[in-house]
Amino acid sequence: MKDKKQGKQQKVSPKLAARKSEEAMIAGILEGSPDGIGVAVIRLDCGCRKMAAVDKNGDPASKVIIYRDQAESICDQCKADNGAFIRVQEEFIHWADPAPDEETQQMIKGKVLGIRTAH
């Protein structure tokens, strides 16, 4: 059966993909960020998420938004440390269609998310 989705198609890393609960927030961020070509999604160990649009150069294209599903505000720990890097569980960039070429994606990922080494 063919998928009949209309509108902007979005591509993500094969390893990590936006959850259903994140899709509306991603769409809203991209809609409010005309220069955005993707949204950095950072999932924290407390259940909160940080998101921001990125432009074709890997620079911010929106403000960083911290939110928690079905909650009026973020958790007390995020209020205190602004979602510290040490508490990151997963991170990826959700690309808007058309996604940039692989080389550009890697450059942006390195600039936005950093490069991790295996120990």
**Mean pLDDT of residues grouped by 10 in the chain (119 residues)?**
39 65 92 96 96 96 94 94 95 95 95 76
pLDDT, residue 16, reads: 79
pLDDT, residue 119, reads: 57
Question: Do 87 and 96 form a contact (C-beta atoms < 8 A)?
Answer: no
pLDDT, residue 70, reads: 87
Q: Per residue in 14-23, is it b (16+ CB within 10 Å) or e — as a string?
A: eeeebeeebe
pLDDT, residue 117, reads: 59
pLDDT, residue 116, reads: 64
pLDDT, residue 96, reads: 95
